[in-house]
């Protein structure tokens, strides 16, 4: 019994919502293995649909991050390092803590 009162839980669609496919990198490694059993498991895990693999969250994140890095490389950005100002707020005077 839940502390807030009666709570009804539904398990319909639990498997579909929580399905986690094997990352494409793992399947690629298994396919390129010299062990025949791993090659067979890769084909079974892949469902025979090598081209139609679902993108995992981590692979989508890596792809997005790579695109961001490429944009930053091409942007010729200039960065200014921020230094805590001195008490007098005059240039070229740095104080240590």
What pLDDT is attached to residue 33? 92
Judge whether 13 and 46 are in contact, CB under 8 Å. no
∠ Cα 82 84 87 (to 5°): 145
Task: Determine the pLDDT at residue 51.
Answer: 46
**pTM, to two decimals:** 0.33
pLDDT of residue 97: 62
Give the pair of three-digit tokens for residue 47.
Answer: 């469902």
Which stretches of the chain drop beneath a pLDDT of 50?
Answer: 50-52
Which pLDDT score, from 0 to 100, does residue 54 have? 57
């Amino acid at each position: 019994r839940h502390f807030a009162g009666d709570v009804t839980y539904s398990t319909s669609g639990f498997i579909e919502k929580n399905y986690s496919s094997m990352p494409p990198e793992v399947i690629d490694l298994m396919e390129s293995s010299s062990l025949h059993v791993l090659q067979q498991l890769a084909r079974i895990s892949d469902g025979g649909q090598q081209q139609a693999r679902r993108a995992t969250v981590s692979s989508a994140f890596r792809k997005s991050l790579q695109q961001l890095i490429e944009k930053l490389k091409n942007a010729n950005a200039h960065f200014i390092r921020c230094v805590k100002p001195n008490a007098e707020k005059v240039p070229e005077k740095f104080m240590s803590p």
